[in-house]
Chains A and B, each alone.
Chain A
Amino acid sequence: MAELRRITHGYPLPDGSRKTVLQDVDLTLSQGGFHVILGRSGCGKSTLLRLIAGLETPDHGRIDLTGDKVGVVFQEPRLMPWLSVEENVGFLIKGRVAADELAARVAAMLRTVGLARVARAWPDQLSGGMAQRVAIARALVSRPGLLLMDEPFGALDAFTRKQMQDELVQIWRETGTTIVFVTHDIEEALRLGQSILVLEEGRFALKFALEASYPRDGAEPAVNAARQRLLDQLFARTALPDRVATLKRTTA
């Protein structure tokens, strides 16, 4: 379980002031859940993930991760170019587990993500989807209690993306890992999330649970209702009036 209490965080600007990205954010992540944080670019969702990962320290507030090992999958695969696929997968646990266990865990993980046949390949010989699978395998092989994923499928084509989403759900169900998945794609959020949290201007504007079975059909009533809530939240209140105003101005 992870708890964030009253997190406020910002970045320094060139003029010496500080731009606040997250403001008094509270978040409780239930064990084993698939939590999707949805928001526009620049809303603070990646920053939130970096804070949970310990890559940044919040200006204010508290983050409690109760004994969970944390795995991180970034937007880009970030594979070590000097290591083969299997060495990359074992990279984070090498020296921390015995050599035979390392080999067994890496081999099992490569089978899970369907990359056993390219175990000896170099990262630059992989497609984008394969490289991102290696990154997911690298994060999972250390058996994290909490897996943080920052728009991991953002750079993939639509077909690979859908396939990876289904595979991720499969892995999540097999491992029971708590997942926090950041995206700006509403359909991705609806396909993956057990709980969906909408972040707007550094605060959670909407949080709800989506009770629909996997793999999800985008047209089923629960998903449709959730889609409507998200569209209402993300477009009706802010963007649409702006756009209408702009249209009015340009047509006037």
Chain B
Amino acid sequence: MNDSKRFSLAVLVFAGLFGLWAGSSAMGLVSPFLLPSPLDVWKGFVGLVGNGKLADHTGISILRVLMGYALAIVLALALSLMMAASRVFAALADPPLEFLRQIPPLALMPLIMLWLGIGEAQKVGIIVLACFFPIFLGFRGGFAQVDPRLIEVGHAAGFPRRELLRRIALPAALPAIVIGLRLGLGHGWRALVGAELIASSAGLGYMILDAQDLARTDIVMVGILVIGAIGLAADAGLKALVRWRMPWIRQDLELRNG
């Protein structure tokens, strides 16, 4: 299926879902408290845009996700490069990392609060933990799958190790890295509400939790829709960036095995 067909299908699916939502609300099939009508959500959205709160919350959340995402990329790249460069280091680092990978970031929240406090560092820390593993596994898998015959080309030409990594291993690993980056970005967004769960006074996660306390499900829905829409847009942006800057990655960029 080509891109325009895929896009048309996505629009159709969203339109269908919206129709179901609007229809069930209009026919009174579900309580407006459990599922507010599209019109109520729209009114809530307009109100939040009007008083500037939505922009403030969204801006803060985007900043947190970007900071966490960037940090996770730096950490994942550094660790995976070190593991690619040294088998001993890889053997030492693998078991604790595999252990840590099994633990959901929210389970680490109490410790993170003790270590990082309840300010921005804690929130960014949770997002780092959520994004890190998909990105790290993308780098690791990418480096592990580099065709050794390509490395030999550089080796035969006398490339030093650093040049082999930078000019051959890194670009050769990019298809797997890109998939890790896409997964990581999604995980970062999904961790947002959890990160803004405690001692927060701003952000989309806070907005949703605050609305829950005030029984404003319309605002909860606005928060959910905005998070989903920004996540989709970020993913599409990342895909477009890859197509533009890395046109050789013509293979399917879709995420396999979730």
Contact = CB atoms under 8 A, between A and B. Distances in A.
Given A54-B156, A55-B155, A92-B157, A78 B248 contact: no
Contacts of A212: none
A34 interface: no
A213 B153 CA distance: 33
Contact of A80 (B155, B171, B249): B171
A78 B154 CA distance: 11
A78 B150 CA distance: 6
Interface string B152-195: 11111110000000011001101000000000000000000000
Contacts of A142: 157
A55 B152 contact: yes
Interface string A77-117: 01011110000000110000000000000000000000000
B246 interface: yes
B173 to A, nearest CB: 10
A55 B168 CA distance: 17
Contacts of B152: 55, 74, 78
Interface residues of B, number: 19
Nearest to B249: A82
Contacts, number: 43
A76 B147 CA distance: 12
A192 interface: no
A81 B250 CA distance: 10
A82 B246 contact: yes
A172 interface: no
A82 B157 contact: no
A229 B132 CA distance: 65
A91 B150 CA distance: 12
A96 B157 CA distance: 12
A70 interface: yes
Contacts of B172: 80-82
A119 interface: no
A118 B239 CA distance: 27
B256 interface: no
Nearest to B250: A124
A129 B71 CA distance: 45
A142 B248 CA distance: 25
Given A74-B149, A76-B149, A81 B248 contact: yes
A53 interface: yes
Nearest to B168: A80
A70 B154 CA distance: 12
Interface string B130-160: 0000000000000000000110111111100
B174 A82 contact: yes
Nearest to A148: B156
A76 B153 CA distance: 11
Contacts of A54: 155-156, 158
Nearest to B158: A54
Contacts of B155: 54-55
A53 B150 contact: no
A140 interface: no
Interface string A53-73: 111000000000000001010
A81 B156 CA distance: 18
A72 B246 CA distance: 28
A53 B174 contact: no
B161 to A, nearest CB: 15
21 contacts: A53-B156, A54-B156, A55-B152, A55-B156, A72-B153, A74-B153, A78-B150, A78-B152, A80-B150, A80-B153, A80-B171, A82-B171, A82-B172, A82-B246, A82-B248, A82-B249, A83-B248, A91-B153, A92-B154, A92-B157, A124-B248
Interface of B: 149-150, 152-158, 167-168, 171-172, 174, 246-250
The 10 residue pairs across chains A and B that have the minimum distance between CB atoms: A72-B156, A92-B157, A82-B171, A82-B248, A53-B156, A78-B153, A78-B149, A81-B248, A122-B248, A55-B156
Given A72-B156, A80-B150, 9 more contacts: A55-B156, A70-B156, A74-B152, A80-B172, A81-B172, A91-B153, A92-B153, A124-B250, A142-B157
